[in-house]
Structure 1
């Protein structure tokens, strides 16, 4: 049985994610995504250090990276109604490798994103600005889907990586909202959702007020 025939049997299995973890082609693909994540994270850390050298401050507070689990990959492919093949996974999922960049202020988000977009070895596949255009529930973040070259022993391969930019306040809000999203049976769900949306407006206002205070301080220093 070929590797493609094997992976096509995964959806019929009781624990498909466990089978995928044991498959050599799948493990190789996941390693490639891990390497792509490392490549992009290194680029972002270099930009942060350069920014610090030029402006005497770090625009980035923290950088977090993650690789989608086999279970999450299987579930997302099911939701999309797609046949579970390696080719389909690579072609249709853009967030297997994910990096979250937490910045101090909204202005920093756009500065760092712009620096990434200017790199000539990175191709921007998609840009979603949920800061200027928040989701209906109040979610705010800037998403970039990148394609970056990664060099392996077999040659160069273009890999997709999703980068999410948030301020500290945006990330705090998103963490709480994420917990609510998986608890639909919570009492007063609708009223809590409305309150969360109000909080999103408050945190956004706070972000820009703090940014203005920082700008005033820097002007006085100059």
Structure 2
């Protein structure tokens, strides 16, 4: 067990450092906007590192070989960063600023905002590889970055709590209400985006644009 713990610690450490790298990049962008611009598109960020139990469940679902090399190849969401923005346009703006950085390599993009999941889930998912410099050399580590609005994040948090409470077997009426809530959250995002653009462009009363 001690040998396994040491091996797992060595395996998981680059993922922790990769999270730190992405979080630092986002924090720099956030601070730059706060200091130099009138408007900051990033509301807040959070990070997540899968536990050994979560990784075990993931490889069981994917029927992945129980080896660290196989896990590295097949599981790309061990490290996760979530970026919450004010408006939908901000989500794509922050996505562009982050993924255009030279040391990041984009592996996959799943746009659940333009194409939501059947249950109403909306978010922009991107897997990026970030270089992590260790004593034995540099390694490239995948990190799943989720970008969403405040409304999307609130809905996703509620969905997670409901599925956790019912252990995945959610009553039909709750699922229907959850889908309705997703429609409401989307309507709020659309309205807020419209107001944001009107104020930014000065369309509301013909006055000069101001930052929101």
User: TM-score if structure 2 supplies the norm length?
Assistant: 0.89
| Aligned CA-pair RMSD | 1.7
TM superposition shift of 1:201: 1.2
Residue 150 (structure 1) aligns with: 132
- Asked if the contact 1:94/1:161 (under 8 Å) is kept, the reply is yes
* 1:107 equivalenced with 2:97 (yes/no): no
Hey, what's the Cα distance between the residues in 2 that align with 1:133 and 1:53?
A: 35
Distance 1:117 1:29 in 2: 25
**Aligned equivalents of 2:3 and 2:92: distance in 1?**
37
- 98, 102, 112: which one pairs with 1:120? 102
Stretches of structure 2 that go unaligned for 5 or more consecutive residues are none
1:27 has 2:9 as partner:
yes
Shift of residue 217, structure 1, vs aligned partner: 2.1
For 1:1-222, list aligned pairs within 5 A.
19=1, 22-53=4-35, 55-182=37-164, 183=166, 184-185=168-169, 189-218=171-200, 219=202, 220-222=207-209
Which SS does the other structure have where 1:64 is aligned? strand
Between Structure 1 and Structure 2, how many residues are aligned? 202
Confirm or deny: 8 A CA contact 1:61 1:103 kept in the other structure. yes
Distance in 1 between the 2:130 and 2:32 partners? 20
Change (3 A) 1:175 1:96: same
Q: Structure 1 pair 191/34, CA: closer, same or farther in 2 (3 Å)?
A: same
Distance in 2 separating the partners of 1:185 and 1:86:
32
SS at 1:23's partner residue? helix
Segment drifting more, 26-35 vs 132-141: 26-35
Task: Out of 177-186 and 30-39, give the one that drifted further.
Answer: 177-186
Going from structure 1 to structure 2, the CA distance change for 1:139 and 1:21 (only over 3 Å counts) comes to farther
**CA distances 1:141-188 after superposition (whole Å, capped 9, x unpaired):** 0001000111111111000000001111111101111122231455xx
Residues 21 and 193 of structure 1, relative CA distance in 2, 3 Å threshold: farther
Report if aligned partners of 1:125, 1:147 keep a CA contact under 8 Å in 2. Answer: yes
Mapped partners of 1:25, 1:154: distance in 2: 16
Could you tell me the TM-score, scaled by structure 1's length? Answer: 0.86
1:200/1:20 Cα in 2 relative to 1: closer, same or farther (>3 Å)?
farther
Deviations 1:16-65 (A, max 9, x none): xxx58952121012111100000011111112233345541111111000
